[in-house]
Amino acid sequence: MHYSKPSLVILAAGMASRYGGSKQTESFGPSGETIMEYSIYDAIKAGFDKVVFIIREEFAESFKAAIEPKLAGKVKLEYVYQSLEKFRGDRPLPEGRSKPYGTQHALLCCKDVLDAPFAVINADDFYGFDAFEKAYAFLTQSVNDGRYACLGYELKNTLSDHGAVTRGEINVDDQDYIIGITERKEIFKRDNMAFRVTGEQEVEMDAATPVSMNFFCFTPSFVEWSEQEYYRFLDQHDDDMKAEFLIPEVVDSLIRSGEGVVSLVKTDAKWFGVTFKEDAGIVKSKLEQLTLAGEYPRNLWL
């Protein structure tokens, strides 16, 4: 199948309950840029020609007002609204459900607007230009229906100086096809080494271990395939108010089913992001450092 240039899909509909605000539209860059604007800047530089924002309809007006004046004429824009009611068929919504159904449900809400290979990322993570350059290369050279990719960051480039984190450890075969992504909790840095807590033990991890930061490369066929998976998810978990339909878990189902393969695409970019309020100052400082180093202009859109 012939596709047009790749698109970038940005997951921006999360409730940000741990953070306590709308971090998707908060200023972090030296000229008031959001974190996702750096991803968009890098994606345009790499060759992506459309950005699809997945947001909640109730903050669409303020979101568009913040982003459109900056991006007008620079890249095609599309908006998709994630809502609890989408893709339920005749199933009634469980009483009391307010939590969104997760990242793969958000992606499923894009089903009717995706017409090209695409990368999908979180709105509140900084991924670095190298990752977008490699994603674009994969999406224009190697992707096809049934062959997808996950960007793999070196563990040492994703750790925090301020506490333990959870990361998806990527396991591959001898051809760099992913055979599984194992969630590792309580990973921390000490003396420039990485450790994870298992029970009461600390286990050292290889600092170069590839981990997933929710940066994937797909074609629209993956989204279409996931629709039946979502109905199965609802059959099993719809009564669980906290259950989520997540991209890594659906990727794992695809791999186990044998209906597709997912390549590891390694990047040496340094990741950083905002989970808690306390992270904001660190992110602002890192973006200022990258600006002073000449990697980004002081105003991304002038």
What pLDDT, on a 0 to 100 scale, did the predictor assign at position 17?
38
Neighbours of 193 (CB within 10 A): 13
Q: At what angle do helices 35-46 and 129-141 cross, to 10 degrees?
A: 40
DSSP-derived 3-state class of residue 167: strand
CB contact at 8 A, 228 and 132: no
Amino acid 276: pLDDT: 66
Residue-wise pLDDT tens digits, 129-186: 999 999 999 999 999 999 999 999 999 999 887 788 889 899 999 999 999 988 888 9
Q: Which amino acid, one-letter code, is at 205?
A: M
Segment 65-84 shows an average pLDDT of 93
> Is the pLDDT confidence value at 59 over 90?
no
214 φ, ψ to 5°?
65, 40
The helix-helix angle for 247-257 and 220-237 (nearest 10°) equals 100
pLDDT score of 269 more than 60: yes
Whether 57 has a pLDDT exceeding 70, the answer reads yes
* Structure tokens belonging to residue 95: 């009483």
Is a pLDDT exceeding 80 seen at residue 277? no
| CB count in 10 Å sphere of residue 69 | 9
Pick left, alpha or beta for residue 141 (phi over 0 → left; psi -120 to 50 → alpha; otherwise beta). alpha
For the question of whether the overall pTM of this predicted structure is more than 0.85, the answer is yes
Please tell me the predicted confidence (pLDDT) of residue 25.
65
pLDDT digits (tens, 9 = 90+) for 179-234: 998 888 899 999 889 999 988 899 999 999 999 999 999 999 999 999 999 999 99
Q: What is the pLDDT of residues 6-52, one digit of tens each?
A: 999 999 987 443 333 455 568 899 999 999 999 999 999 999 999 99
pLDDT given at position 278: 76
Q: How far is CA 25 from CA 63, 101, 161, in A?
A: 7, 21, 25
* Number of neighbouring beta carbons within 10 Å of residue 266: 17
How far apart are alpha carbons 198 and 153 in whole angstroms? Answer: 22
| List of long-range contacts for 42-46, beta carbons under 8 Å, 24+ apart | 42/127, 42/128, 42/129, 42/131, 42/132, 42/133, 43/8, 43/75, 43/119, 43/132, 43/136, 44/74, 44/75, 45/129, 45/132, 46/129, 46/132, 46/133, 46/135, 46/136
Q: Hey, how many other C-beta atoms are within 10 angstroms of the C-beta on 185?
A: 11
**Domains parsed from the chain with CATH numbers:** 7-154+210-292 (3.90.550.10)
Give the pLDDT band (50/70/90) at residue 1.
Answer: very low
- Tell whether the model's pLDDT for residue 107 goes beyond 60: yes
Residues 6+ apart with CB under 8 A from 191: none
**What average pLDDT is seen over the chain?**
91
Q: Which residues contact 140 (CB under 8 A, 6 or more apart)?
A: 5, 6, 47, 117
φ and ψ of 131, to 5 deg? -65, -40
Closest Cα to residue 216, out of 243, 189, 184, 255? 255
Is pLDDT above 70 for 116?
A: yes
Q: Name the nearest CA neighbour of 271 among 48, 53, 45, 39.
A: 39
The per-residue pLDDT for 23 is 57
The pLDDT, as a whole number, for residue 15 is 44
Judge contact between 239 and 189, C-beta under 8 A.
no
* Mean per-residue pLDDT, 65-85: 93
